[in-house]
Structure 1
Amino acid sequence: MSEIALPTKPCRACCYDMPAKANKCVKCSSLQDWQRYLTFSSSILALLTALVSVSTFAIPIWKSAFAPSIVPFISVNRMNLDSFLVSIGNDGASPMAIKDFFLELRGQGDLRITVPLQVTGNNGQLVVDGNKNIAATLVFMESGDSNYDKVLLERINSDDNLSSSGTCSIVGGFSDLKAPSAVTGSALVNCMNAKMMLRHKFGRDSQ
């Protein structure tokens, strides 16, 4: 009596003849259905583990490399007759040097008045570290020129648009101590109060 030959099929991995209904090769142990796509070698698993570990450390470095080096911000906390009490902050990663400050008044048309300010009241600190802020006092710089003071006062008093439709702001210039770049920051202030401060300062000095 002759034996009945069972149908066979080649293994999908090693091509060894195996029973057609078998789901696992008896030679290489490879699965023959959809489950074969879920198997990974130990080397692939080790590679994936290494990639995850590297990316965990690389992402913060990548972010810091492409993030802005310095991000200045200015907040005006109080306006006195002769000074501005401000907070100067740096949301960037690099240390930021304070270069200069001025009060800017803009009216209608091309009217633009800038008055230099100097930083005091922060123990002479002119550097803000990354993700830090400092408190400082801004005062008007002495011009040493009475004619300049009179002309400035006349310009301020001659334009009512400065307090009605104009804008007034504190503007600061900053530089990155780790790279050759410079940026500015600003904060709006009340124009009526700013004009009152200027009249008090330069009206008194020009007398």
Structure 2
Amino acid sequence: MGGLGSSRSEVAAGTAERAKTGLLVVGSFVALLFVVELINFLTLRSLNTIFGLRPRSADGVLDILTFPLLHANIGHLTSNALPLIIFGFLVFLSGVRVFVITLSLSWLGSGAAVWFFGGGGITVGASGLVFGLFAFLLVRGFLNRNWWQILLSAILFMAYGSILLGVLPIVAGFISWQAHLGGALGGVLAALLLKRPAR
């Protein structure tokens, strides 16, 4: 019995440490976005012109690495900040590897979709990351057949499911549905790659 109690306390301590680290990592990333937004504001949005994603341009390929760090204005950033923290934290609870893979595929999927299929103009914003993390959280429970993860999926869908309309091209002309759809597909791909082997 003593061994079982010790094992449970170690698991709880590990989960608490992971949660603490997750809040630090995700919070620091969002704080970085606000620092970039301040610099962008002070330089009259010049960063968007230089590092925003320009579809189908040869030098725009590198912009895939930078465009989620930029935003059109503080309101744009603020609308992404809270879901980034919530979804990023929940994904991080599954481990650093899961978080890094999911964020990376969401980032690349969002950027690739905009580069190949984006309209005219420059695209900026971290909403593709939001959609990727959200999509991962929605589907992973069903792939893993984990009832706790499915329950979390249901709760998140009821709270944030309406944002999925953002993957449709008919919602609003100023919203990059390509970034949203590409990010979401990246999140689903991450869930498939990280699917637990069947026992």
TM-score bin (small chain):
under 0.3
Greater Rg, structure 1 or structure 2? 1
The structure in which a higher percent of residues are strand is: 1
Higher relative contact order (CA 8 A, sep 6+): 2
The structure in which a higher percent of residues are helix is: 2
